[in-house]
Chain A
Amino acid sequence: MPLVTLTGLLATLALLASPSAAPQPTEALPQDLVPLRESLQRTKKLSARFTQTRHLAALQGALTTEGTLEYEKGGRLVWRTLPPAESELVLAGQKVTISYPGMGGAQTIDFSSDPGMGRVFETIRAVLQADLEELQPLFKLSVTRREPLSLSLLPRKPELARTLRSIQLDFDRQLRLVHVGLTEPDGDSTEIAFRDHVVQTAAP
């Protein structure tokens, strides 16, 4: 993995994980989100296909990539982007491994030596898993639509706001995450649409 990618990634993430961005005292979860929390708590395993569309000022058109997401509650989260932009991000326990199979090289970051970095990756995991308990201290959550559920997340701290303007999380009627919209301060945006969910839940 090129150093610059790692540098940029870590620089931004370290910023996010700085003491001033530490979790704030939690507010009570809005009543509308309680069913979502219960549904997520029942999820043991999930896999889905995704289509990510990025709209960048630096690009003439949209940049679309396809891939898969897999995660297991308390276990690994694997974000795999399929060719031509092949890459893989594996978040497991106290480590994240980023690799570019087509370009060679992999980098593993151990959170035990960098606890701040660990918090940052937990935030990414929280967004992808719509983990409300984790997200609530960092973002101001508001329900923009109740049926099917749609949430808007606004950063609580300016440090985070420098990287993200807002996040939109959309769920289907079974409370499965089907869309993530990320808007950056410079107007660039990323849309991630999930489909073909395979969810394994624990008995209620």
Chain B
Amino acid sequence: MTSHLGVTLLLAVLLLLGGISLSARATTEQDVGAMLPDGPGSPREAARLLGEFGVLNTLLIDVELPGATQEQLAARGAALAAGLRASGEFLEVYTGPSAQEVMQVGKVLFPRRLYLFDDPAREIEGRLEPKRLQPALAKLRARLGSLQALVTKGDLLLDPLDLDADLVAGLAQQAGDVHASDGQLFSKDGRHLLLVTTPARTALDARASKSLLATVASEAAKLAPGPSGRPVVKAVGGPRFAAESAGAVRSDILITLLTSLGGLIVLFAVRFRSLRLLLLASVPIGFGMVGGLTAVVLAQGHIHALTFAFGSVLIGVGIDYPLYLLNAASVQAGDSLERMSAGLDATWRSLWLGFSTTFIAFLTMSLSQFPSLRELALFAGGGILTSFAVTLILLVPLAAVFGPRRWLGIPRWMPALRIRNVRPWVACGVSVAILGAAAFLAPQLRFDGELRHLDAQRPETLGEFEQVMDRFGIRRADTLVVARGHTPQEALLLNDAVESALRRLPESGTSSATFSLGALLPAVATQQARAAKLAALDLSSARSRLSAAAVEAGFSARAFDAFWEEVSAVREEKVAPLTPADFEHTSLEPLLKRMLSCSAEECIAVTSVDPRGKDELDALASSLPAGAVLLNANALARNTVARIPRQMALLTGLGLLLNVVLLTLAYRSLRLAVLACLPGCLGLAGTMAILSAVHAPLNIVSATALVLILGCGVDYGIFALQGLASPSTVSGVEATGVLLTSLTALAGFGTLVLASYRALQSLGAAVGLGIIISATSALLLLPGIFWVLRPRLATPARAS
């Protein structure tokens, strides 16, 4: 016996170490988008792009200096920026374009400004209209009188039609309500200053994000006070959300661990009076975690952080098998080995059935088209399989050697559990009522696919974020239009068609704020087409009209010859069109790199749109040219992520069907199979009915919990049915098993409802409800229904 145990333990430890070393090689994925299907135009790409254009890896810092002038505020902003740069924790601290940077961009854009107008000939004709031309010339004359005109004369005379001012205004409009001055960015009222920072580490690195926020706070504390008080510095964006979420999750995990542990200790103390058994019962869970991780690593080499976190919770259900076994063993006679062997004999069939039904539930989940669900199924399936195998192989010898020397006798309360207080017609009525309520309410259950609703954003943090975004008129990049091409120029050409389509929208009354690359960098083909349009301009007529107006305004007839030389040069394609290379080493280069990117397969150009509602979104979608794709965060949630809960519901239904088939084969009775599945069904139906009644939507996490409810509920049904069809010699032992496992599940999962992290909260609520309803159904309703639905020819012996 001892040598057999030694070999078994040695093998188990070797396997465990092997699994751990293999798991250590796994890379952990943290991007939520990685949970979605991948490929060009896929939801994952959409989520990635929306994430890139959002504020995940950006920390916006809003500085206010009460009672100060803009100049004083700028000084504090510059000091804060210098401190943050010196900290080394930021990749970039952007304060605003310096005069030199503006000049550099001007040097690139202004010589080719005519390429930036959709129809330069029409633009020139329009500006030659007297009502526009006269004010433009008067303004120009006034500017020539300024001191600085001593050196700007040449540039001023190049722009008689005031093209540059409108071009600059158009570009500035795209930047929102941020006002650049003094190399800094100010709010419209000039009372707030904005620093746009990019952390050196990803915002998802919660520790780095926390340190980043501490640095901002410490540098802010060094700022000198203003006339009416201390500077007010607010940091908002991805790093703050990440740091706060991580803090909330840490505290959630601690609370859940402590409550679960406390619950388990109480349960084991009450039922077994032995903490040794608690330690032994935990062994299969530990193996299950390593087994699940090994399965995922062997299959794909990496694991998503959410899969690991959520899967570990799912594997927690693996303690049910040791509990059923120890509970059955405790009522047996003899020493530990004899008790465990007898307990294993008593529960062998139900354990296998319980494991098989749960495993089938995870198998059906692996049929999902969503990588996240497949990965979760692999992890949880591998984990459950391992913990079940360890329960059967290792727990008996371990308990025999390390188990209690004296086992607690049968508690007095155990036989009482067998008493059926609920009459059959009441049990049937309640069951029908639950199913009826579910049939009525479940169709109204909402599916929330918004991934951002899963985290632990505090309302105040979100409020501050919204406030800063509104104050500086920063657009939410919730909607993007992606134009694809084999080359950058192909993508830009399609992007120009997108811009043109979007520009037509305001004419139809559905105006959108847009930020398009086309405003800065049209495709070369577009620029050439625009130059060709200039051929339509009657140059001599236009020139003579301007000359006449110029003379009338006090200019000489040939004052604007340089302007017409520019027009002629563009017409004759003597001016090289703008290309991405022109913006290299300018302040616009980072923006361009984000909006125009190429992979080995293709290039994409992205336009950011801010539609005002669903109608406008639909109008946008219908107006886009072929090949351009509209990505909207809400639509992505609605159309893609929300499919996960729906798919989970379908897969759970399929799992239930397979469970019925398996149990029918095992029991050789459809009625018994249905009876075994009934608590799980009632748990599922009741949970959905209640969630619908209280208007709580199902999300990706709580929907996945449906599998768990089904798995646990069917297990309760199997063991409760065993107690009814082939009861143990000791009354209430099976019911006690159900009670123990449901209470441990509640201690483990139900307490998650106290979490501040909304993903955990929703999981706790759904699983808690499901466990309570299915366990209550198994203990109170199933006996009554059993006497109504039991097979007429079935005997206890047959069922066992």
How far is A147 from B662 in the complex, measured between Cα atoms in Å?
A: 119
Interface: B142 (CB within 8 A): yes
How far is A11 from B106 in the complex, measured between Cα atoms in Å?
A: 10
Q: Are A10 and B156 in contact (CB under 8 A)?
A: no
Q: Are A114 and B141 in contact (CB under 8 A)?
A: no
Interface: A32 (CB within 8 A): no
How far is A163 from B152 in the complex, measured between Cα atoms in Å?
A: 10
Q: Are A60 and B556 in contact (CB under 8 A)?
A: yes
Interface: B103 (CB within 8 A): yes
Interface centre among A10, A86, A102, A107 (most CB of B within 10 A): A10
Give the nearest-CB partner of A67 in chain B.
B147
Given contacts A107-B181, A110-B183, A117-B99, contact A5 B156 (CB under 8 A): yes
Query: Which of B142, B149, B182, B556 is close to A110, meaning CB atoms less than 8 Å apart?
Result: B182
Chain A residues contacting B154 (CB-CB under 8 Å) are 8
User: 1/0 contact trace for A1-28 toward B, CB 8 Å?
Assistant: 0111111111111100000000000000
How far is A81 from B110 in the complex, measured between Cα atoms in Å?
A: 28
Q: Which of A40-48, A50-58, A138-146 contacts B (4 or more CB under 8 A)?
A: A50-58
Interface: B153 (CB within 8 A): yes
Q: Which of A82-121 contact B (CB under 8 A)?
A: 84-87, 89, 95, 98, 100, 102-103, 106-110, 113-114, 117
Chain A residues contacting B100 (CB-CB under 8 Å) are 10, 14, 113-114, 117
Give the nearest-CB partner of B151 in chain A.
A12
Chain A residues contacting B168 (CB-CB under 8 Å) are 2-4
Q: Are A5 and B157 in contact (CB under 8 A)?
A: no
Interface: B143 (CB within 8 A): yes
How far is A188 from B165 in the complex, measured between Cα atoms in Å?
A: 25
Shortest C-beta distance, A121 to chain B (Å), equals 10
Shortest C-beta distance, B104 to chain A (Å), equals 9
Query: Which of A61, A79, A107 is close to B99, meaning CB atoms less than 8 Å apart?
Result: A107
Q: Are B182 and A58 in contact (CB under 8 A)?
A: no
Interface centre among A2, A10, A81 (most CB of B within 10 A): A2
Q: Which of B441-488 contact A (CB under 8 A)?
A: none
Query: Which of A12, A79, A95 is close to B182, meaning CB atoms less than 8 Å apart?
Result: A95
How far is A64 from B165 in the complex, measured between Cα atoms in Å?
A: 25
Given contacts A2-B165, A4-B156, contact A13 B559 (CB under 8 A): no
Q: Are B148 and A59 in contact (CB under 8 A)?
A: no
Q: Which of B120-144 contact A (CB under 8 A)?
A: 139, 141-144
Give the nearest-CB partner of A92 in chain B.
B71
Interface: B793 (CB within 8 A): no
Shortest C-beta distance, B745 to chain A (Å), equals 63
Q: Are B551 and A6 in contact (CB under 8 A)?
A: no
Query: Which of B147, B156, B165 is close to A8, meaning CB atoms less than 8 Å apart?
Result: B156
Interface: A65 (CB within 8 A): yes
User: 1/0 contact trace for A148-180 toward B, CB 8 Å?
Assistant: 000000000000000100000000000000000
Give the nearest-CB partner of B138 in chain A.
A84
Give the nearest-CB partner of A190 in chain B.
B150
How far is A63 from B102 in the complex, measured between Cα atoms in Å?
A: 30
Shortest C-beta distance, B676 to chain A (Å), equals 76
Given contacts A3-B164, A4-B110, A11-B103, contact A85 B142 (CB under 8 A): yes
Chain A residues contacting B554 (CB-CB under 8 Å) are 59-61, 63
Q: Which of B543-568 contact A (CB under 8 A)?
A: 551, 554-556, 559-560
Q: Are A54 and B151 in contact (CB under 8 A)?
A: no
Q: Are A8 and B183 in contact (CB under 8 A)?
A: no
User: 1/0 contact trace for B156-180 toward A, CB 8 Å?
Assistant: 1111000011001000000000000
Chain B residues contacting A36 (CB-CB under 8 Å) are none
Shortest C-beta distance, B328 to chain A (Å), equals 79
Q: Are A54 and B183 in contact (CB under 8 A)?
A: no
Shortest C-beta distance, A73 to chain B (Å), equals 20
Shortest C-beta distance, A75 to chain B (Å), equals 15
Interface: B98 (CB within 8 A): yes
Count, A-B residue pairs, CB within 8 A: 140
Interface: B540 (CB within 8 A): no
How far is A84 from B159 in the complex, measured between Cα atoms in Å?
A: 20
Give the nearest-CB partner of B551 in chain A.
A60
Given contacts A54-B145, A110-B183, contact A8 B152 (CB under 8 A): yes
Q: Are A6 and B103 in contact (CB under 8 A)?
A: yes
Interface: B146 (CB within 8 A): yes
Interface: A182 (CB within 8 A): yes
How far is A5 from B157 in the complex, measured between Cα atoms in Å?
A: 11
Q: Are B150 and A182 in contact (CB under 8 A)?
A: yes
Q: Are B148 and A84 in contact (CB under 8 A)?
A: no
Shortest C-beta distance, A85 to chain B (Å), equals 4
Chain A residues contacting B74 (CB-CB under 8 Å) are 108
How far is A107 from B144 in the complex, measured between Cα atoms in Å?
A: 18
Given contacts A58-B555, A114-B100, contact A5 B148 (CB under 8 A): yes
Interface centre among A81, A106, A109, A124 (most CB of B within 10 A): A109
User: 1/0 contact trace for A176-201 toward B, CB 8 Å?
Assistant: 00000010000010100000000000
Shortest C-beta distance, B312 to chain A (Å), equals 52
User: 1/0 contact trace for B308-319 toward A, CB 8 Å?
Assistant: 000000000000
Q: Are A4 and B183 in contact (CB under 8 A)?
A: no
Given contacts A81-B145, A85-B145, contact A10 B103 (CB under 8 A): yes
Q: Are A4 and B139 in contact (CB under 8 A)?
A: no
How far is A182 from B71 in the complex, measured between Cα atoms in Å?
A: 33
Chain A residues contacting B102 (CB-CB under 8 Å) are 3, 6-7
Interface: B618 (CB within 8 A): no
Q: Are A4 and B99 in contact (CB under 8 A)?
A: no
Given contacts A54-B144, A114-B98, A182-B150, contact A59 B164 (CB under 8 A): no
Interface: B31 (CB within 8 A): no
Interface: B602 (CB within 8 A): no
Chain B residues contacting A85 (CB-CB under 8 Å) are 141-146
Shortest C-beta distance, B148 to chain A (Å), equals 5
Interface: B107 (CB within 8 A): yes
Q: Are A7 and B142 in contact (CB under 8 A)?
A: no
Interface centre among B99, B141, B152 (most CB of A within 10 A): B99
Chain B residues contacting A7 (CB-CB under 8 Å) are 102-103, 106-107, 110, 155
Given contacts A4-B159, A4-B164, A113-B98, contact A56 B147 (CB under 8 A): no
Shortest C-beta distance, A26 to chain B (Å), equals 25
How far is A14 from B559 in the complex, measured between Cα atoms in Å?
A: 26
Give the nearest-CB partner of B562 in chain A.
A58
Give the nearest-CB partner of A83 in chain B.
B142
How far is A87 from B117 in the complex, measured between Cα atoms in Å?
A: 30
Q: Are B556 and A59 in contact (CB under 8 A)?
A: yes
Q: Are A63 and B99 in contact (CB under 8 A)?
A: no
Chain B residues contacting A9 (CB-CB under 8 Å) are 148, 151-152
Q: Are B555 and A60 in contact (CB under 8 A)?
A: yes
Query: Which of B147, B151, B559 is close to A81, meaning CB atoms less than 8 Å apart?
Result: B147
Q: Are A58 and B559 in contact (CB under 8 A)?
A: yes
Q: Which of B59-80 contact A (CB under 8 A)?
A: 71, 74
How far is A54 from B151 in the complex, measured between Cα atoms in Å?
A: 13
How far is A142 from B168 in the complex, measured between Cα atoms in Å?
A: 44
Q: Are B157 and A8 in contact (CB under 8 A)?
A: no
How far is A58 from B158 in the complex, measured between Cα atoms in Å?
A: 11
Q: Are A89 and B148 in contact (CB under 8 A)?
A: yes
Q: Are B555 and A8 in contact (CB under 8 A)?
A: no
Chain A residues contacting B71 (CB-CB under 8 Å) are 108
Shortest C-beta distance, A1 to chain B (Å), equals 9
Other A-B pairs, 10, CB within 8 Å; known A12-B152, A85-B146, A182-B150: A3-B110, A6-B103, A56-B153, A58-B157, A58-B559, A59-B556, A107-B181, A108-B74, A110-B182, A163-B151
Q: Which B residues lie at the A interface, using CB under 8 A?
A: 71, 74, 98-100, 102-103, 106-107, 110, 139, 141-159, 164-165, 168, 181-183, 551, 554-556, 559-560
A-B contact pairs, 30 of them (CB 8 A): A2-B165, A4-B110, A4-B152, A4-B164, A5-B143, A5-B155, A6-B106, A7-B103, A8-B154, A9-B148, A9-B151, A10-B103, A54-B144, A56-B153, A57-B556, A57-B559, A58-B555, A59-B554, A59-B555, A59-B559, A63-B141, A63-B144, A85-B143, A85-B146, A89-B147, A107-B99, A109-B99, A113-B100, A114-B100, A124-B147
Closest 3 CB pairs of A and B: A8-B155, A8-B152, A85-B145
